[in-house]
Structure 1
Amino acid sequence: MREAGVAEGDERVGAFWRELGLPGLIDVHTHFMPERVMAKVRAYFDAAGPLLGREWPIAYRMEEDERLAVLRGFGVRAFTSMIYPHKPGMARWLNGWAAGFAARTPDCLRTATFFPEDDAAAYVAAELDGEVRVFKAHVQVGGYDPGDARLDAVWGAIADAGIPVVIHCGSGPMPGKHTGPGPIGRLLARHPGLRLVIAHLGMPEYTDFLDLAERHPGVHLDTTMAFTDFAEHDAPFPREALGRLRDVGDRVLFGSDFPHIPYGYAHALEALERLELGDDWLRGVCYGNGARLFGI
């Protein structure tokens, strides 16, 4: 019987990055949240909620200290605490928790978030005056238009500061009212200096988000769940676009969605390896690009 909290292939993670000659991994898409929020997220996955569209067994169901030990055991040198609000009045509280988490967790890139509400510009300004390293925006769960007027000053301030924003804006696993490349294209037209990290490679609108990355040098892509057997079943990446992904390889970042993934962590890495885009591409994706973007 497999040990609790251990998934198939975990023992292969260290060999993966060592064979590439890397000092470890940088994972730009991991979730650490207040425990009561984490419990609600787990319950949503367990119930295969409407934004998921299918059963979604969680591979790493464990307490916070155990999750940290697992990531560090994998050799992850830097990671995030992807937090996101689904209603007004929640973001400021989440940001306070994330600041405390980062203070006691030095290998976590301090993460903050926002929501279209009247005080968003004020609390984002406070984060920018602090030590925030990355923002998280979740257009699908939040159900908001990233072009909402209440966010205009937010986006402008973040662009001026050069802080990356990991944004779930693709229409996977289920489309939302404001998901897809259109709203992001309009946002970039207004704030071309934004450093957006498109979560999940923009799944399933992969080529549309590649278009945006090719047109905007500040647009990055994270690999979260892409190319895994689980994702390929419903949203296969078009193989004819792999050359384009290779060409923007200096702006592709590894993300895992740990701990809420329905397979072992190693599978996410091996899914990238089997693309056969080369060791240099893998080294950039799994460490070098993140180290450069976040000054690690």
Structure 2
Amino acid sequence: MNDHRNAPVAPADTDLPHDAPDRCGSPGTSTAPGVPGAASDAAPDEEAGDVRRFWGRLGLPGLVDVHTHFMPERVLHKVWDYFDAQGPLTARLEWPIAYRKDEAERTALLREFGVRAFTAMLYPHKPGMAPWLNAWAADFARRTPDCLHTATLYPEPGVETYVREAVEAGARVFKAHVQVGAYDPADELLHRAWGVLAEAGVPVVIHCGSGPAPGAYTGPGPIERVMARHPRLRLIIAHLGMPEYEEFLRLAERYGEVRLDTTMAFTDFTEGFMPFPRRALPRLAELGDRFLLGSDFPNLPYPYVHQLHALERLDLGTDWLRAVCHDNAALLFEL
């Protein structure tokens, strides 16, 4: 069970997508307006230079990206197959994978960008997957010291046990995907597992917003029930909770351990389908210590640096940008 070489792999025709594009769009739409380039058209050295100049201007030692995907290669290729097929949860949009490279190349590129620490966001869509995904992620972390040891979970018998084992083995962040997993995060089966993570202070990046297509358990309601029982749980709402931006901001205002990552938010691609409400911009400034840089690398339909420029053009100030792109995560993960 712990040997990822013999681990089961989701069938190619599964109707449960793996981290489908996290935005709302109109079914049948084939392209997105305003996408700045269809991938990384620039040469790697040029692109890395653009990214490094960004954080250099801020006086930072680099970036911390809390939402990057590394997983067993066979699984990742099925993710890419889903994007290529424009599966239902991609809102039928064309989605060119900007960084369709092998694992070593992807890792090297993040380092060239100056990303000091990143994650291996992986997640199950059915029972029995989480333990072997966790075994793979532990091995990846051992051979990739700048990757924050990542783990995952699913509502199933034994989840408390393997979550505790992952924490004891050094897991520093968990990933939960309510949309793909199609489960209620407030499921009683997860209650003790959330308790373990709250007690250990291990953050959880959770995709729970209703974009691009609402699931039975997406939206702020189930998450609020989780936080009511575990107010010390360090939840990081992925993709800024899109499209329920303001509802998830309210959760962050209510619970001091709720944070949000910026993955795909404010980019031209996402703004074309589910724009962030301008009236809520002052709340971003007020909650500045709760936001963390996320990108969704490698599954981007635009260059990595565009996410950074999208944050910069919010015009919330240098201190806010420094905090979001590095300092908040460096503090949270004690880098």
| Fold match by TM threshold 0.5 | yes
Matched, 1:60 2:96: no
Helix, strand or coil at the partner of 2:60: coil
Partner of 2:313: 274
Q: TM-score, normalised by structure 1?
A: 0.97
Contact 2:124–2:154 (CA under 8 A) maintained in structure 1? yes
1:253 aligned to 2:292?
Answer: yes
Please state if 1:48 is matched with 2:86: yes
Match of 1:81 among 120, 127, 143: 120
Give a deviation string over 1:94-130, Cα, whole Å, max 9, x none.
0000000000000000000000110111100101111
Structure 1 SS opposite 2:89? coil
What does residue 30 of structure 1 align with?
Answer: 68
In the alignment, is residue 131 of structure 1 matched against residue 170 of structure 2?
yes
Contact 2:177 2:206 in 1 (8 A): yes
Which one of the candidate residues 134, 138, 159 is aligned to 2:198?
159
2:260 equivalent to 1:221: yes
Label 1:3 to 1:179 Cα distance change in 2 as closer, same or farther (>3 A).
closer
Determine if contact 2:150/2:173 at 8 Å carries over to the other structure.
yes
Alignment partner, residue 70 of structure 1: 109
In the other structure, the counterpart of 1:196 is: 235
The 8 Å contact of residues 10 and 264 in structure 1, kept in 2 or not, is answered as no
What whole-Å deviation, never above 9, does each CA across 1:128-184 have from its counterpart, x for those lacking one?
Answer: 111110000000000000011111110111111110000000011221111000100
Sort the Cα spacing of 1:5 and 1:161 in 2 relative to 1 into closer, same or farther, 3 A.
Answer: farther
- The residue correspondences of 1:94-133 to structure 2 (distance < 5 A) are 94-133=133-172
- Structure 1: gaps spanning 5 or more residues: none
Where structure 2 has 5 or more consecutive residues not aligned to the other structure, the ranges are 1-39
Answering whether residue 52 of structure 2 is matched by residue 14 of structure 1, we say yes
Offset, 1:8: 8.7
Runs in 1 of length 4+ with deviation above 4 angstroms?
A: 2-10
Distance 1:68 1:179, change over 3 A: same
Question: Alignment RMSD, CA only?
Answer: 1.4
Where 1:51 maps in the other structure, the secondary structure is helix
| Post-superposition offset of 1:11 | 3.3
Rounded to whole Å, the distance in 2 between the matches of 1:137 and 1:5 is 34
The residue type equivalent to 2:55 in the other structure is W
**Separation of aligned partners in 2, 1:8 and 1:93:** 38
Q: Kindly provide the amino acid, as one letter, of the partner of residue 144 in structure 2.
A: T
Length, aligned pairs only: 295
Q: Percent identity?
A: 65
Which whole-Å CA distance do the structure 2 matches of 1:3 and 1:65 have between them?
20
Q: TM-score, normalised by structure 2?
A: 0.86
**1:166-181 equivalences in 2 (<5 Å):** 166-181=205-220
Contact 1:134 1:164 survives alignment (8 Å):
yes
Contact 2:48/2:112, CA 8 A, preserved across alignment = no
For the Cα contact (< 8 Å) 1:224–1:254, is it kept in 2? yes
